[in-house]
Amino acid sequence: MKEDFIILGADGIQGSILCRFLLEKGYSLLTADISNTRVNYFLSKYDKNIRFTFLDVRDFDRLLGFLQRSSCKIVINCVESDWNFLITRACLLTKKNCIDLGSDFKTTIQQFKLHNEFKKNKIIAITGCGSVPGIGNVMLSFISRKFDSIKSIDVGFAWTSNIKKFVVPFSIESILDEYTQRAPYFKSGQLRYIKPSKTIRTRQFRQVGIQRIFLADHPETYTFFKYFKSWGLKNVRFFAGFPNHSEKVIKLLESFTLAQKKPIFFEGKEIVPVRFFAQVLKRMKIPRGYKEWENLWVEVRGSKKRKRKIILMECIVPPLKGWESAGCNIDTAFPAALIAEMVKYGEINDFGVFAPEACVPPKLLLKRLTKYKFTFFENGRKINFFS
């Protein structure tokens, strides 16, 4: 079987959604993860179109061997972001195109240092291809043409659910990082850091309502400044937002020290608390009738023809029929799959390391997302990509 895509981290929340999305479109997949709790279902239902290998990407030599054995040229990396640089480097050494869901600020900088090598080998790595980063970056690209200069960019997410019960929104490791890691931001062109707890504020969001938000460590802070500094950009901030019922549980988990990545030893085995807990949460059942809505947003301040201009662009992600169990995670997995398709079919043909705002055709991606009921607004007006 010749695979169309390789999916690393296929057993995670995003990886399993990606598997289903691509398998339902008729693609063949080579998948890998440290567990197969979710993948087993696909192995039984789509046995002719999917293969699975147990793989710990931290074993770099084994990762290289796994990639080298496949003729597939596109890797979709859904592994925890801690290993994104390692996987990007492995793709470079095996001459694979690489797409991931986003890294933290410092890891993103490391990935971009591989740009010239990727370009030399005529392959591409696109980092941050989910929701935010991902859709937010492409929305920025879409509206940037309406400015002559850009001074400030705020970007973020907010979400809610009909049943006020804790359900893991996405990677629990990434969530706990957002609450505990110092948040980078640019102010007056200078990079600064601050504790998320010192930045809490409230804001009204379409479809979500009033929600508390806070600054978090996200790659957009780096990539927006990188690509738009020449436009006069001085200020960049990323805001995370969680509903109250979810935030209470997250803070409780943090107080139990489950956010720690320092290993502990139990019965002769090394256990990393947050990674062990992430596996335990796979057993968690979603309440019957549970639905989520998310607002992904980017607000740009600048000027056009010497007049001040502000644009707030929003992506509203409602429950999608047949995908209710995935919640809002469709807005992370779906764009990654669509961007991977663009690479496969030559709709993205750049070489090097990029974030989506620099290489993904904005109208093309946003238009395709509307097929899955994603709705876009510009300053409150619904955007019609088909006009």
What are 378's strand-pairing partners?
A: 313, 381
- Find the Cα–Cα–Cα–Cα dihedral 18, 5, 357, 331, rounded to 10°: -10
* Boundaries of every domain in the chain: 5-131+332-360, 135-324+366-382
In Å, the largest CA–CA distance within the chain is 68
Residue 225, C-beta contacts closer than 8 angstroms, at least 6 positions apart: 186, 233, 236
| Per-residue model confidence (pLDDT) at position 132 | 97
Structure tokens at 102: 């986003």
Q: What angle do CA 262, 265, 271 make, to 5 degrees?
A: 55
- Give the model's pLDDT for residue 259: 67
The two structure tokens encoding residue 229:
């500094």
Where are the alpha helices (H) located in the chain, listed in sequence order? 13-24, 39-45, 60-68, 84-93, 105-112, 115-120, 135-144, 172-180, 220-228, 244-255, 273-280, 330-344, 356-359, 362-369
135-324+366-382 CATH fold: Dihydrodipicolinate Reductase; domain 2 (3.30.360)
What gap in Å lies between CA 178 and CA 174, rounded to an integer?
Answer: 6
CATH code of the region 5-131+332-360: 3.40.50.720
Please list the pLDDT of the chain residue by residue as tens digits (387 residues): 689 999 999 999 999 999 999 999 999 999 999 999 899 999 999 989 999 999 999 999 999 999 999 999 999 999 988 899 999 999 999 999 999 999 999 999 999 999 999 999 999 999 999 999 999 999 999 999 999 999 999 999 999 999 998 887 777 778 888 888 999 999 999 999 999 999 999 999 999 999 999 999 999 999 999 999 999 999 999 999 999 998 888 888 777 776 677 788 777 778 777 777 777 777 778 888 989 999 999 999 999 999 999 999 999 999 999 998 888 999 999 999 999 999 999 999 999 999 999 999 999 999 999 999 999 999 999 999 887
Q: At what angle do helices 172-180 and 273-280 cross, to 10 degrees?
A: 140
In the structure encoding, which two tokens stand for residue 99, read together?
A: 């797409």
Peptide bond into 318 cis (omega under 30): no
In the sheet that holds 352-354, the strands lie side by side as: 50-54, 29-33, 5-8, 74-77, 97-100, 124-126, 352-354
pTM over 0.85: yes
CA dist 315 and 139 (Å) reads: 8
Q: Given the DSSP bridges, would you call strands 50-54 and 29-33 parallel, antiparallel or unpaired?
A: parallel
Dist. CA 218–CA 114, nearest whole Å = 20
